[in-house]
Amino acid sequence: MSKKTIIVFSGDYDRMMAAFIIANGAAAMDDEVTMFFTFWGLAALRKENPGISDKPKSGLQKMFAGMLPKGPEKLSLSKFNFAGAGRSMMKKVMRAENVMTVSELLATAQEQGIKLIACTMSMDVLGIGKEQLIDGIEYAGVATYLAEADEGNVNLFI
């Protein structure tokens, strides 16, 4: 039993799959796992219907918040996305091959007790308030990440 940390910077559907598959695999082997969601990666923690946030203080933040995908199944593939068609097709293949979607991987991560942390600095920059994010997560900055990573034997940036 050891500890793993993953910084989830990318908001790509495929990279998010990789992050959660590694995290869930490690948790299944009784490792302690911390995932730190920053920048575009925050999109995976958004509610599907986040409503109007009180958070954005400026029109620019509203714009960024508006562009950021709402929840895991709205993320784009890093390649061959074709305005979402590529992602839909990949999800069809995944279902046929019994590969979990990112939503399912996220639910499993929460069930397994993986610590999900939203980066508060990124939330400020992108105009994302806590009420826009799913329940059961923590909020912290880089100092917390570093303290976790110091204890990790595998620390990835995805």
Closest approach of its own copies to the CB of residue 17, in Å: 8
AA identity, residue 119: C
Q: Report the alpha-carbon distance of residue 7 to residue 25 in Å, rounded.
A: 16
Does 154 interact with its own copies (rule: CB under 8 A)? yes
Q: Which of residues 108-137 bind its own copies (CB under 8 A)?
A: 121, 124-125, 127
Nearest approach, Cβ of 47 to its own copies (angstroms)?
20
Residue type, 107: A
Please name every residue paired with 62 in a beta bridge, in sequence order, or none if there are none: none
Q: Is 34 helix (H, G, I), strand (E, B) or coil?
A: strand
Look at residue 79 and give its three-state secondary structure.
coil
CB of 122 to its own copies, least distance (A): 9
- Contacts of its own copies in 10-39 (CB under 8 A): 11, 14-15, 18, 21-22, 25-26, 29, 31, 38-39
Best CA proximity match to 45, nearest among 21, 22, 75: 75
Contact call for residue 9 and its own copies (CB under 8 A): yes
Which amino acid belongs to residue 31? D
β-strands 32-37, 154-157 pairing: unpaired
Residues near its own copies (CB under 8 A): 2, 7, 9, 11, 14-15, 18, 21-22, 25-26, 29, 31, 38-40, 57-58, 60-61, 63-64, 67, 78-80, 89-90, 92-94, 96-97, 99, 121, 124-125, 127, 142-143, 145-146, 149-150, 152-158
